[in-house]
Structure 1
Amino acid sequence: MTYETFRNEVLQGLQSREIGNVSLSLTKTLKSNGEMKHGVVFKSPSSNTSPTIYLEEFYEFYQATKDFDTVIDRLSDLYRSLPVIQVNETELYDFSTAKSKIIMKLVNTEKNRTFLETVPHIPFQDLSIVYYYLIGKSDRMLLDMPVRDGLLKKWEIDTLKLHQQALANYNRLLPVKFGNLDQFLLDRGLLENEYYAALSANDYTNSMYFLTNDFFSNGAVLMTCKNLMDKIADFFEEDFYIIPSSIHEVLLFPKSKAPSKEKLDQMIQEVNRDYLDPAEYLSDHAYYYSRSGQDSNGYVIQNLFQRLPGTIS
């Protein structure tokens, strides 16, 4: 069954199930890094939001098992488990009430040119900081929507104020998580994960640390927060490399324990190519955090912070 046929069969299969008063339609959406995703939109008259469930992983399951009934069962169960979200449009369009729900994310600039043409953003090296309105949180799932130029115009603010507000909100909405990578892998049951196994093969994980948020979602943006980077440098008592393992987290490598930047870049590129979902790609080279802002390694990020106001703990 081709993917196009699969999508149409899924739509018909869901329409034959009892999943409540909901209308269904197929959609395609440009996601992170220019990835086009296909999904099913569930529109209910009881909500002004319409959740979309994307079908790529379900198609992979079908290709492996040929079990179409289980695909429909899983999609139906997933939809039923989603919270009913009602966006208060009065609060959304009023910055005085919406500002408490603004968060930020980090994306690769080159791979997101089309998206960046429609949203306020701040360049950061070869990356860009973008902003989202947090609709809700449930069972470690984040529901959000991008802050686009039109919404910024309604709020009558500029990108600078937007960034300041996102910084002020971040740790309250998405608490920061930082720790030893080996312990992180153990706690999350990821010791057998192919991505991290590639790092473990080089005996690096015991010297590396992870940085993300409590939801392990789009936490790489924390590398743009200067006082947080300063605190980590104080903890290491030295400068360090930042490895952009994905949009969701970065890995940190104290300089004294790290291989050369050339070797780090090679490792990042190999892992990105062989193990990382393209939609989660952030960058293919390491960054260097220098407390003094002076180093010969290239990609020094410390001196970029003068353009980014505010702090995060």
Structure 2
Amino acid sequence: MDYQQFLFTITAGLQSACQAEEKITVQTIEQKHTAKIKTVSLYHRGKRTTPWIYMAPFYRLYQHGYSMESIQKELKNVLDMVTENNKVEGEIFTNFECAAAFLSVRLISYQKNKEFLSLVPHRRILDLAIIYQLVFEGTDTTMGAAVVYQDHCRIWEVTEDILFQTAITSMIRRFPPSLNSVEALIGLPELPVQSDFPHLFALTNSKAFFGASVIMYPGILRTAAKKLGGAYYILPSSMHEVLLLAKDKDTDPSQLKEIVEEVNLTDAVSTDFLSNHVYEYDSDEDTVTIVV
């Protein structure tokens, strides 16, 4: 299936899922430093309700073996979330100045996503990878995200380093970190620092949405060390949060790994999986390493 056939098939499928007064349109945009690019947009009673969405990245997914159904579902999700968000301005998928305020990072497993990572700007962190996304908040409590692909970087004329710095700055402003003891989260009194019981904290962001990426916030791990009384283990609960356990001479990291693996097998949604490894934060060196 060539690009034109792909566009026809995808837009026809999207149109069938739209209401009668809604119309999916395909447009060609010619930019100063790029060739003509194909975009789709959703119109409602003659008024465009979404910015132009660049289609080449979705075609790349198709070329890499992703099903038309899964691609259409992702694109429909992007259309819905952008439509619901009242703060979206300008052509965020073709103009970096418009996109910058919505940029965010997400932590994912490196090994489980090698093929996908070939399509997106990313950087490797131990056994994990940082990817970039545009995060939209709906009209109520809903959240949605659109992945940033290599094609977007070419359109925006930005490097991965610029993406990283911009995304972290945007995230800190929009989604500040949340660090709470597990006791506090379930309504129990917080343990004193000198307690003999292990100190377990949950680290995420204010929305608990892809909150594991908070570990990339400058200074947050050092701040957590002050709360936990020094070095600690990091347990990858999911892409949405990590658990921090104060390091103790009696704690066996291999047992922690078994717990992480068990949780990932029984409780974690497969798409939320982050890692089966246990990490250690060294408060003296301000570094994170894989323990086991």
TM range (shorter): 0.5 to 0.7
Runs of 4+ in 1 over 6 A off after TM superposition: none
1:12-39 superposed Cα distances (whole Å, 9 cap, x missing partner): xx98xx9764589xxxxxxxxxxxxxxx
Give yes or no for contact 1:272–1:284 (8 Å, CA) kept in 2. Answer: yes
1:2-21 superposed Cα distances (whole Å, 9 cap, x missing partner): xxxxxxxxx9xx98xx9764
Cα offset for 1:88? 4.6
Q: Structure 1's 207 and 150: CA in aligned 2 closer, same or farther, altered over 3 A?
A: same
- Residue among 217, 238, 245 paired with 1:253: 245
State yes or no: 1:288 paired with 2:289.
Answer: no
- Note the 1:59-98 alignment, pairs <5 A: 83=84, 88=89, 90-98=91-99
Q: Structure 1's 19 and 162: CA in aligned 2 closer, same or farther, altered over 3 A?
A: closer
* Fraction of identical pairs, as percent: 24
- Residue among 48, 51, 54 paired with 2:50: 48
Structure 2 Cα separation of the partners of residues 156 and 229 of structure 1: 32
- Structure of higher RCO (CA pairs closer than 8 Å, 6+ residues apart): 1
Give yes or no for contact 1:49–1:85 (8 Å, CA) kept in 2. Answer: no
Q: Which amino acid aligns with 1:271?
A: V
Structure 2 Cα separation of the partners of residues 263 and 214 of structure 1: 30
Q: Which amino acid aligns with 1:207?
A: H
Which one is further off, 96-105 or 247-256? 96-105
Structure 1 Cα separation of the partners of residues 136 and 209 of structure 2: 15
Task: Report which of the two has the higher share of strand.
Answer: 2
1:43-90 superposed Cα distances (whole Å, 9 cap, x missing partner): 76463379xxxxxxxxxxxxxxxxxxxxxxxxxxxx9xx836696553
- Note the 1:1-150 alignment, pairs <5 A: 21=21, 45=44, 47-48=49-50, 83=84, 88=89, 90-150=91-151
Q: TM-score, normalised by structure 1?
A: 0.61
Structure 1 alignment gaps of length 5 or more: 1-10, 25-42, 51-78, 188-204, 301-313
Structure 1 Cα separation of the partners of residues 139 and 187 of structure 2: 24
Structure 1 Cα separation of the partners of residues 167 and 220 of structure 2: 15
Which one is further off, 167-176 or 156-165? 167-176
Structure 1 Cα separation of the partners of residues 198 and 178 of structure 2: 17
SS, match of residue 138 in structure 1: coil
Structure 2 alignment gaps of length 5 or more: 1-12, 25-41, 53-79, 189-196
Q: Structure 1's 298 and 135: CA in aligned 2 closer, same or farther, altered over 3 A?
A: closer
1:116-152 superposed Cα distances (whole Å, 9 cap, x missing partner): 1111001000000111112334323222211111111
Structure 1 Cα separation of the partners of residues 249 and 205 of structure 2: 25
Structure 1 Cα separation of the partners of residues 126 and 236 of structure 2: 13
Structure 1 Cα separation of the partners of residues 163 and 250 of structure 2: 36
Structure 2 Cα separation of the partners of residues 19 and 85 of structure 1: 20
1:214-240 superposed Cα distances (whole Å, 9 cap, x missing partner): 111100011233411011112222100
Which one is further off, 100-109 or 251-260? 251-260
Structure 1 Cα separation of the partners of residues 186 and 142 of structure 2: 20
Cα offset for 1:182? 2.4
Q: How many residues align?
A: 221
Give yes or no for contact 1:182–1:206 (8 Å, CA) kept in 2. Answer: no
Give yes or no for contact 2:85–2:136 (8 Å, CA) kept in 1. Answer: no
Structure 2 Cα separation of the partners of residues 265 and 129 of structure 1: 22
Q: Which amino acid aligns with 1:48?
A: T
Q: TM-score, normalised by structure 2?
A: 0.65
SS, match of residue 238 in structure 2: coil
Task: Report which of the two has the higher share of helix.
Answer: 1
Q: Structure 1's 175 and 138: CA in aligned 2 closer, same or farther, altered over 3 A?
A: farther
